Every structure is written in C-alpha cells, then in structure tokens.
Amino acid sequence: MTQSCTLAIDAMGGDYGPSVTVPAARKVLQRHPELRLILVGEQAALEAALAGTSEADRRRLTIHPASQIVGMDESPSQALRYKRDSSMRVAINLVKSGEANACVSAGNTGALMATARYVLKTLPGIDRPAICTTIPCRGGRFRMLDLGANVDCTAEHLFQFAVMGAVLVEAAGDSADPRVGLLNLGEEEIKGNDQVKQAAQLLQDSDLQYVGYVEGDNMFRNVADLVVCDGFTGNVALKSSEGVAAMISQYLREEFQRNLLTRMAGLVALPVLRALRRRLDPRHYNGASLLGLRGVVVKSHGGADEVAFEQAIETGRVEAMEAIPTRIDARLGELFARGAVE
Amino acid sequence: MTQSCTLAIDAMGGDYGPSVTVPAARKVLQRHPELRLILVGEQAALEAALAGTSEADRRRLTIHPASQIVGMDESPSQALRYKRDSSMRVAINLVKSGEANACVSAGNTGALMATARYVLKTLPGIDRPAICTTIPCRGGRFRMLDLGANVDCTAEHLFQFAVMGAVLVEAAGDSADPRVGLLNLGEEEIKGNDQVKQAAQLLQDSDLQYVGYVEGDNMFRNVADLVVCDGFTGNVALKSSEGVAAMISQYLREEFQRNLLTRMAGLVALPVLRALRRRLDPRHYNGASLLGLRGVVVKSHGGADEVAFEQAIETGRVEAMEAIPTRIDARLGELFARGAVE
C-alpha cells in the first residue's frame, strides 16, 4: 500500500510567489498519486494561479488562506512578531498540528529558521537546528551542514550536525553507512581550530564512519558523503563554489560569443555544453533541509524557478515519507542511552 | 636608472625541485635585465640544472649552497629545529642579511611561515603574519587574506590584515584606493560572528575604502579589491573554489570525450576552450605573499610547473621592488600616530 503524504507549501514565498510555486506543485502532484498538497497564501491569488487545473488534481490540492507575506529582507524577529498570519508561519503551523507532514518554503532563510524553531521546537538533545544541502561532486554528490544557521559552533554542535546529517544521507538512500568528514584547512591531525579538533575526537569515538578532515577542494572529489562544518565556514564554502561555477559559465558563454567563428563552434558544441549544464544544474540540487526540528522543513532558493521549486518539494516529500525527524530522534535516543552524547 | 634587485630562490622546494625552479629562474632573468637571482640548494644539482646557461645569464645567477631540504610534509617545528641548513632556511637568511630583497619558495607552507617568522620577525604592530593571494574574478582580480596562517583571528587581526593587504593592492598597481570587504555569510549588518562585526567597525572608522560585507559568491563579481577573513574561512573558500573549477574542467573534458561526434565538436571548439583555460589558468595567479614580516617572502604552490613558478618569482620581484614591508611599516606608523591601532 502506498503511504499517503501531505505537504504544506508556502505558496507566496520566494522571489516569484505563486507564479512559480503553483505550477511546480501541480507538476509534482502528477508524479506522485499518493501526494496531497496544501497551498498556503492569499486565496484569490492562488485560485487564479490554479485556473485550468484538472478536477482530479484539484482534489489533492487544497488552498489554506494566509493574509500576510514575509518579505525576503524581513528580519526574523519582525517576521515572528508581526507576521503571525504569513504564508510561511501558517505552513509551519500545519506541520505542528499534524495536518501536513512537511513544509516547503522559498521564503527568507532567517525568518524560516526562526519561525520553524519557535513553532516546531528542536528535538531533545539538539541545541541548534542546522541547514543541510546536497552538492554535486565528481561521480556523485555529498551533503554539507551547517550552511549558515549557526555562526559559532562548539565541538558538540558539530557532532550533533554529523549525527543528523548521517541520518539524512541514509534515509535518502545515498549510502547505508555514510562517510562523514570534517571540513578543515588541512588533512593532518594538528590542523584546525579547537572546535574542529575536539569534534574529530567525538566522531572517532562514535560509531559513525568518520573519514577524517576534508579540505575545500577534496570535497568535490567524492571523499565523503557528509561534510560537517560551522555555519560561517559552510556558507562561505557553498557560496564561493557557486560563485566560481557561475563565473566559469559566463566565461564559457563569452568565449563562444566572441566572433562568428566561435559562435559556429558553439553551435557544434551545443549538445556537449547542454550535457555539461545538466550535470551542474544547481536547480537539481535545490531544497535545503532544516535539521534538528520536530518536523520537516525544506528551504528552497528564493530565486528558484519552476524546475528548482519542484526539486525542493520533492526533497520535502522524501523527508516526510522517511520521517526524518523521528529517525534523528531515535538515533539520538540510542546515543543518549550509550552515553555518547550528553 | 633601473633599480637593481636580488631574489633568493629556494631552488630545492616544491614537488619538482631544480627541474622546475631553475628553468623558471632563467626565464624570469631574461625578462628583467636588472634582476639577480641566488639559487639556494645542493651545489651539484644546481650546477647540473644550470648546464647550457649563457655566460651573460650566468653572471646574474649565483648558487648559494645549502645541504638540507625541508620535506613537503615536514612539521614546522621539525624544520625549524633540524633543518638549519635547508635551502628554505638559507634563502630566508639571505633576506635577513640583506643579500637578497626577497625569498621565493615552493616548499611547505607551515615550515616556510614558521621559518620566515622566526628568522625575519614580524613588523612592529603586527601580531601575526598572514598569507595573501590573487584570485581571478569577473572582469578583474582581487586579493584575499588570510588563507590559512591563522585559524582564529580577533577583530584587530582582521583589521591588520586589511591594512597590509591594501598596501599590497596599491603597490601592485591594481587600485590606488582599494575597495576592502569583509568575507561574511550575508551582507546585512546583523550577520556574522563577533570578530567580523567588530572588524567592520574598525574598518568603518579607518580611512580605508571599506565596502562592507562580501559573500562567497559576490567575491567573484568584482565587488572588492581585497577580501579579508580569518585563515580557516579563507583557506576553505579558496580551496572550494579551486575544487569546483577543477571539477568543471574535468566534466568539460569528459563531455567532449564522450564519443566521436563530441570529439569532433571538441576539435572545432578547441580555440574557444583554450581561451577559456587561459582566462582561468591558476598558474597565472601563483605566488602567495607572507605579509607582516620584515622582509618579502613569496610562497609558490608546491606543485607549480615552470610557468607557475615564474609567476611566483615575478610576484617576489614586484614586492621587492615596491619594498612592501617598508610600505606596510610606514602605513602602520601613521595609524599608530593617529591612535587608529594599538
């Protein structure tokens, strides 16, 4: 029997709101007959965006009204205090009440994290939730956390991140025994700051498959399924990578546009360039997980288009089906029982 | 009148030793008639590598013997204690004694930094030397420091890095009034850790052209001439960027190698791909500066080939001609006098 699953979509979030979220939602529905989606936002706007939806699809698409929208630049505290009927908050409330198994939002990260943390609370034993995403690397992909929720982290925080991330990698089917690495500025044991060195000790003593320190360049050589770091470093590493990739893409375009000859070469090379773009397309990796909460919350890039937002919904669906928070909770319970965490 | 300049080359350093360092040295000599080079290392090996050098070039190429070599994996303390006659140490000694205006080494970074610091000492007012390199970005290039010498940094350290880096950017002729940014995980004022926030205050109060927080992706959009960060973050950011660039290059190669058709497309696109490679070639950015010392020390990538090592020597030459340490010292003197630093 297929398990049913309901996702709450913050339909007003992101740079494009319903013009992206609603078509993406309809696409995902068509792939998953067991799925139900609740579109949260301004009723009239959503009704309009849903025009032309088939009867059958419409039965699995509910609109849940919310009168406010959290701005992309709004501060977390502002959003918490003054936007209690925002599409973001209401979508998270639906997870809290059990009406939805996950929430997916392209709204601003700070507000989403603060609201999710306030409404859903963290799991027992988790001091701080972390943001985890999937990144392509040679011959595969890896996950990295934290990506910006926590600027300063203790060794214990890093260890908690490792436990949570490993559960996610396992549940997503990427590895039954994830290779866990700590991001560091060298591979030798003496390298790094105190937090990282102490976290290495905690990981060595755990039953996770700890593969040691991982350097920024080696991450992309498929040496770990999970790369753990503080949110400051993770954010900078992820964005630097994105920045370089964007620069190279632009250079490639510029070089092929340079003159008539290079343009002709570009036409000949088009299938190859398309294949390259597909392999690196960040849209296929969209959807970051807010881990450590008592519920599934997935954050999409604010600038996500339809394809990218579909992927974020898909990430939310998998995490809901796999009951990630329950699995993390169980894993932490085992570690508590064994005295591995305090 | 052309100013004369003498550089001490650690000819044994790096993965390839004299087979790379000596030909690179000869190439650089040919470009600069005022330049003299001292090759430091094993006399016999260097004599052999110099075979066939013209009389005229030979007059500007001295061999200075050194009996030991610092291994690429050797610890800084080991190198300091047991390798007093290493090519690295002797080359730095020549800077200390005034026989050379700069030292260039492809030896291991930790040993080079520790030895340079021990022999040359830091400038007054500088707590810690930092490693600074040049990175290509859209329509230009920027410099970033620290890249790994200091894992934990206070706001004052970050401010000192900014002062030193700005002197380097100015002296290299890249900008008369460098735009200085602080690497952070967001551009809003409330983002970041305490050190970064306090450094922002110090920079705002200074007469440097402070442009605010810079995110990892924006670095590559030419928003700053100098990006300042702690050595942990800088190292991870730089290596992540290198890792992604290498991955994309490999993917591009793979896609063009896929079958006969794509290979033919690759042949047609070859001039374009070569132009792209030239624009991104890391060899043209080789040569990191150890700033904050009482002498010029330039670190080449260990795996540098001839072209890359030439660039590192070139970097050392420019820094020697521009007397970077003296300029940094003068700049710090002004700041002391104005009470801007303690």
Question: Looking at the complex, does the CB of residue A265 fall below 8 Å from at least one CB of chain B?
Answer: yes
Domain membership flag for residue B146: yes
pLDDT band at A262, cuts 50/70/90?
A: confident
pLDDT digits (tens, 9 = 90+) for B55-103: 888 999 999 999 999 999 899 999 999 999 999 999 999 999 999 999 9
With beta carbons less than 8 A apart as the criterion, state whether B234 and B183 touch: yes
Partners of A36 in the β-ladder:
A6
Peptide bond into B15 cis (omega under 30): no
pLDDT digits (tens, 9 = 90+) for A6-42: 999 999 999 999 999 999 999 999 999 999 999 999 9
Residues B310 and B264 in one domain: no
Question: Looking at the complex, does the CB of residue A211 fall below 8 Å from at least one CB of chain B?
Answer: no
Residues A102 and A166 in one domain: no
Tokens of B335: 């700041």
The closest of B133, B62, B116, B149 to B295, measured between CA atoms, is: B116
Geometric angle at alpha carbon B146, from B299 and B186, rounded to 5°: 145
Q: In what order do the strands lie in the sheet with A140-145?
A: A61-65, A35-41, A5-10, A102-105, A296-299, A288-291, A130-137, A140-145, A226-228, A179-183, A209-214
Question: Cβ separation of A233 and B233 shorter than 8 Å?
Answer: yes
With beta carbons less than 8 A apart as the criterion, state whether A134 and A300 touch: no
pLDDT band at A276, cuts 50/70/90?
A: confident
Domain membership flag for residue A327: no
| B265 neighbourhood in chain A, CB within 8 Å | 268-269, 271-272
Residues B33 and B156 in one domain: no
Q: How far is CA B222 from the centre of its chain?
A: 19
Residues B63 and B152 in one domain: no
Residues B85 and B5 in one domain: yes
Domain membership flag for residue B168: yes
Q: How close is the nearest chain A Cα to the Cα of B253, in Å? A: 10
Final residue before a domain boundary, out of B259, B284, B309:
B284
In A, minimum Cα distance to B214 occurs at: A236
CB neighbourhood size of A193 (10 A): 18
pLDDT at residue A307 above 90?
A: yes
Residues A44 and A180 in one domain: no
pLDDT at residue B342 above 70?
A: no
Q: How close is the nearest chain A Cα to the Cα of B296, in Å? A: 24
Residues A153 and A257 in one domain: yes
| B246 neighbourhood in chain A, CB within 8 Å | 217, 220
Domain membership flag for residue B340: no
Residues B118 and B250 in one domain: no
Domain membership flag for residue A333: no
Q: Is A6 helix (H, G, I), strand (E, B) or coil?
A: strand
3-state helix, strand, coil in chain B (%, to 5): 50, 20, 30
Please give the torsion angle defined by the CA atoms of residues A41, A42, A46 and A48, in that order, rounded to the nearest 10 degrees: -170
Residues A84 and A137 in one domain: no
| A273 neighbourhood in chain B, CB within 8 Å | 255
pLDDT band at A280, cuts 50/70/90?
A: confident
Give the pLDDT score at A227: 98
Please give the torsion angle defined by the CA atoms of residues A235, A241, A243 and A248, in that order, rounded to the nearest 10 degrees: 180
pLDDT above 90 coverage of chain A, percent: 76
Domain membership flag for residue A173: yes
pLDDT above 70 coverage of chain B, percent: 98
CATH code of the domain covering residue B57: 3.40.718.10
In B, minimum Cα distance to A152 occurs at: B193
Quote the mean pLDDT of chain B. Answer: 93
CB neighbourhood size of B307 (10 A): 14
Cα(A275)–Cα(A283) distance, rounded to whole angstroms? 14
Question: Cβ separation of A265 and B262 shorter than 8 Å?
Answer: no
Domain membership flag for residue B204: yes
pLDDT digits (tens, 9 = 90+) for A96-119: 999 999 999 999 999 999 999 999
Q: How close is the nearest chain B Cα to the Cα of A176, in Å? A: 26
CA atoms within 13 A on the CB side of A71: 6
In A160-179, the residues whose Cβ lies within 8 Å of chain B are none
Give the pLDDT score at A139: 87
In A21-80, the residues whose Cβ lies within 8 Å of chain B are 73, 75
The packing angle between helices B155-171 and B306-321, to 10°, is: 90
DSSP-derived letter for residue B324 is: H
pLDDT band at B341, cuts 50/70/90?
A: low
Interface size, chain A vs chain B, as Cβ–Cβ contacts under 8 Å: 183
Please state, in angstroms and as integers, the Cα–Cα distance from residue A45 to each residue in A16, A41, B235, following that order. 12, 8, 47
Give the pLDDT score at B1: 44
Question: Cβ separation of A239 and B216 shorter than 8 Å?
Answer: yes
| Burial of residue A278, with CB atoms counted within 10 A of its CB: 0-12 exposed, 13-18 middle, 19 or more buried | exposed
Residues A154 and A197 in one domain: yes
Q: How close is the nearest chain B Cα to the Cα of A251, in Å? A: 7
In A, minimum Cα distance to B110 occurs at: A191
Residues B268 and B131 in one domain: yes
Question: Cβ separation of A151 and B235 shorter than 8 Å?
Answer: no
pLDDT digits (tens, 9 = 90+) for A154-199: 999 999 999 999 999 999 889 999 999 999 998 777 788 899 999 9
Question: Looking at the complex, does the CB of residue B183 fall below 8 Å from at least one CB of chain A?
Answer: yes
Q: How far is CA A132 from the centre of its chain?
A: 5
Q: What is the ipTM of this complex?
A: 0.90
Question: Cβ separation of B269 and A271 shorter than 8 Å?
Answer: no
The single residue listed with the structure tokens 């030459």 is B317
Q: How close is the nearest chain A Cα to the Cα of B203, in Å? A: 20
Question: Cβ separation of A272 and B264 shorter than 8 Å?
Answer: no
Domain membership flag for residue A329: no
The closest of B288, B279, B291 to B309, measured between CA atoms, is: B288
pLDDT digits (tens, 9 = 90+) for B229-272: 999 999 999 999 999 999 998 888 888 888 888 888 888 888 88
Give the pLDDT score at B187: 79
Peptide bond into A146 cis (omega under 30): yes
Residues B278 and B296 in one domain: no
pLDDT at residue B336 above 80?
A: no
Residues spanned by the domain of B140:
127-284
DSSP-derived letter for residue B121 is: -
Final residue before a domain boundary, out of A282, A301, A330:
A282
Give the pLDDT score at B120: 97
Cα(B176)–Cα(A96) distance, rounded to whole angstroms? 57
Cα(A248)–Cα(A236) distance, rounded to whole angstroms? 18
Question: Cβ separation of B243 and A255 shorter than 8 Å?
Answer: no
Q: What is the sign of the dihedral through the CA atoms of B194, A73, B241 and B169?
A: negative
Domains of chain A: total: 2
In B, minimum Cα distance to A74 occurs at: B188
